Amino acid sequence: MTRIDLPRTDVGPCESFGERWTKLAAERSALCLGVAPSSSWLARWDLTDDVRGAAAYCDRILRAATGVAAVKVQVPFFARFGPEGLDLLARFTERCHEHGSLVVMDAKVGDADDTMHAYADLYLGPGSRLGGDAVTANAYMGLRSIHPLAVRAGQVGAAVLVLVRTSNHAAEEVQQASSTDDRTVAQRLADDVAAWNHAQAPDASWGPFGAVVGARLPESADLVARLPRCVVEVPGLGRPDRATAEVLAAVPDGRGDALLTITSGVLRHGPDVGALRTALEAWRERIRP
């Protein structure tokens, strides 16, 4: 196990994100719906490219996705509308919680540690501006820089999902680069995330750090295996360049903490609410063990 010298985090009395997620996934399936009110998706759904169009988009998502365990929100597609867009995102999150769904804020935050308290106030847990249950984070400034965000996550039962390996082609030259011990950058980051969770909560099933692994096989399976006791988001379901079997092969049978995200594979069936609901149910059945 990699040794890591991050400070100890006090874990709050509430259920961890991992505990909440695994219960919901067992009940509703591990499917997570991507939510992306971009200009292109609003146009495809014949909606105006403004906050009113985004609100109509969110309403249809909410009516179709009442039974999903989680949604993953692309924050910039809301933030581009300014304060009204952030208000819409806060309302959308609240309504998802009313349906019992967890909300992952895909913000990819990455900054110096003295700013992370502000990001926590914006994204994580009850009392934050947006009320998310998890947020994605970029560790390019070092894992220690994310520590204040993880402190809040541990206190409120949320999670920080570290971008261990992303699926965009431009990331390969950085994330697959070899470090001094011949591990790739992604492998070393996965090992450090796992070590940090173990150090912070040695007696718990999950720590406040999770991971995003968007690699192809065999790299995806290797990285997921390096992340025990971590909620791991594995995107790629429904993409034309990814077979379902390849995405699922990264997650061993019986591993109940994986979060499987699908976006275009469902959204392309919109804007009809019934068609969206049917597509979600079909994918839930498709990924059941």
Say which residue, 9 or 169, is predicted with more confidence: 169
Q: What integer pLDDT is reported at residue 20 of this predicted model?
A: 95
Other beta carbons less than 10 A from residue 57's beta carbon:
25
> How far is the C-alpha of 62 from the C-alpha of 51, rounded, in Å?
16
Q: Is residue 234 part of a domain?
A: yes
Q: Is residue 28 part of a domain?
A: yes
Which among 60, 95, 97, 108 is annotated as catalytic? 108
Q: Is residue 1 part of a domain?
A: no
Distance between start and end Cα atoms, the chain: 30
* Residue 81 φ/ψ, nearest 5 degrees: -90, 5
Total H helices, total E strands in the chain? 13, 8
Q: Is residue 4 part of a domain?
A: no
Q: What integer pLDDT is reported at residue 12 of this predicted model?
A: 54
Q: Is residue 146 part of a domain?
A: yes
Q: What integer pLDDT is reported at residue 282 of this predicted model?
A: 97
Cis before residue 218, ω within 30 degrees of 0?
yes
Q: What integer pLDDT is reported at residue 171 of this predicted model?
A: 67
Q: Is residue 192 part of a domain?
A: yes
Q: Is 23 a catalytic residue?
A: no
| 3-class secondary structure, 109 | strand
* Full-model pTM: 0.92
Indicate the average pLDDT of the chain: 90
Distances (CA, A) of 15 to 45, 157, 273, 286: 38, 5, 33, 29
Residue span of the structural domain in which 143 resides: 17-287
Structural domain count, the chain: 1
Q: What is the DSSP letter of 103?
A: E
Task: Identify the CA nearest to 158 among candidates 117, 126, 197.
Answer: 126
Q: Is residue 8 part of a domain?
A: no
270 with 276: CB under 8 angstroms? yes
84-126 per-position pLDDT tens digit: 999 999 999 999 999 999 999 999 999 888 899 999 999 999 9
Q: Is residue 10 part of a domain?
A: no
Torsion angle, CA of 135/137/143/145, rounded to 10 degrees?
-90
SS (H, E, C) 217-238: CCHHHHHHHCCCCCCEEEEEEC
Q: What is the mean pLDDT of residues 182-205?
A: 85
Query: What's at 70, amino acid-wise?
Result: A
Q: What integer pLDDT is reported at residue 58 of this predicted model?
A: 98
Q: Categorize the per-residue pLDDT at 272 as very low, low, confident or very high, splitting at 50, 70 and 90.
A: very high
CATH of the domain at 227: 3.20.20.70
